[in-house]
Amino acid sequence: MNKIALSIIVAGILGNIALADEIDDEIQRVEKENKILELQRKKKQLEMQNQQIQNQIVNQNNTQSKDSLTSKAKVVKVKKVKDPNSKNGFFIGVEGTLGTSKNDFRAHTRDTCDGSTYCNMTNFFEASNATFDLGLMGGYQHYFGDSKRHGIKVSAHIYSGFGNDWKFTWKDNAPDYSKDDGSFIVVTRTGTISYVPIKFGFDVKYLWDFLQEGKHTLGLNVGVGYESDTYVNGKSGFGEVFDNIFLNNVYPVIGLHYYCGHHQFELMYRFGGILGQTGNQEVYYEEYIIPRADSDKTPPLIGISSYDIKLLNQSYLTVNYAYRF
């Protein structure tokens, strides 16, 4: 009996021990699972945090890029916008001049006075005429300093015009056909010379705006200029065709200018110039046979006609209008 009871007690103890081991194993398994779940949860949290950080970096980069683009756009926009009160810029317009043109004409003639010998003659003439030229002009101007009252203006012009024709009057001896004694009489002769001018030049001027009120500006300009003139289609009233004439001129210039917004007006006076004349240029030369009184003799007489012209630039008034861009 006692052995049976002891056996029962020992079996109960051993069963409890086995049950305790099972419970311990289950607890360890559960703990392992909890640790795994905890690790997985932390891993997920870390992944979420990393994703958030990456999103923040991307958003920050996008914001910086947008700010950079916006800043560049603003800079470009500022560059494109021009000060409405600026007087700097390119301009183009029309220009007209009113002045005089002076011509010194020299005619050389080798003819015969008696039908058998040569007789050389030279006649000098002077003539002047009012001229009007019209054409295009353009250039660039720039003002300096905070007040924008002082600047430089560079302009070029090209034009043609009217009035470059001259009339000459001279005295000459002519046979008196009313008499048979071979006498001569003094007669008055007239002749004309005409040319078409083509003029190109440029000016460099200093600008001083002494009066500024809103969009209205009044100022003084002074400087120097250069002009190259070509006179073409030369001819006389007797049908003679003349060679072209070339004239270079360096001149001082002074004037006033007025601005109304983008519209510019200028009144100038260009002086006669430092290089104001062409020199004597031969524009016509012709040889011809002269009938001789002693026709049985040789060789025949050869007559010569040649013309020299000197053009003298005179001072003239200039008016122009231009639009500034």
Q: Is 244 domain-assigned?
A: yes
In contact, 103 and 165? CB cutoff 8 Å: no
Is the Cβ–Cβ distance between 280 and 311 less than 8 Å?
no
Q: What is the pLDDT of residues 17-28, one digit of tens each?
A: 666 567 767 777
Residues of the chain with pLDDT under 70: 1-21, 24, 58, 61-82, 111-118, 171-177, 180-184, 273-280, 290-299
Domain carrying residue 283? 89-324
Q: Would residue 166 count as lying in a domain? A: yes
Backbone phi, psi, residue 223, to 5°: -175, -155
140: CATH: 2.40.160
User: Of 246, 312, 249, whose CA–CA distance to 277 is shortest?
Assistant: 312
Radius of gyration of the chain, Cα coordinates, nearest whole angstrom: 52
- Residues 284 and 140 grouped into a single domain: yes
Our CA dihedral for 85, 90, 94, 99, rounded to 10 degrees, sits at 100
Task: Give CA–CA dist 313/166, Å, rounded.
Answer: 14
103 and 39 both lie in a single domain: no
- Chain centroid to Cα 137, Å, comes to 9
- Determine, yes or no, domain membership for 214: yes
- Do both 154 and 271 map to the same domain? yes
State the pairing for strand pair 184-213/118-144: unpaired
Burial of 253 (0-12, 13-18, 19+ CB in 10 A): middle
Q: Is residue 315 a part of any domain in this protein? A: yes
Domain count of the chain?
2
Residue with tokens 């009871």: 5
Residue 276 has φ and ψ, to the nearest 5°, of -100, 15
Name the pairing type of β-strands 184-213 and 150-162.
antiparallel
In terms of domains, do 19 and 105 share one? no
For 98-140, what is each residue's pLDDT tens digit? 988 888 888 777 766 655 666 777 777 888 888 999 999 999 9
- Secondary structure class of 246 (helix, strand, coil): strand
Question: Which pLDDT score is estimated for 295?
Answer: 60
**In this structure, what token pair is assigned to residue 117?**
């010998």
What SS3 state is found at 43?
A: helix
Q: What percent of the chain has pLDDT over 90?
A: 31
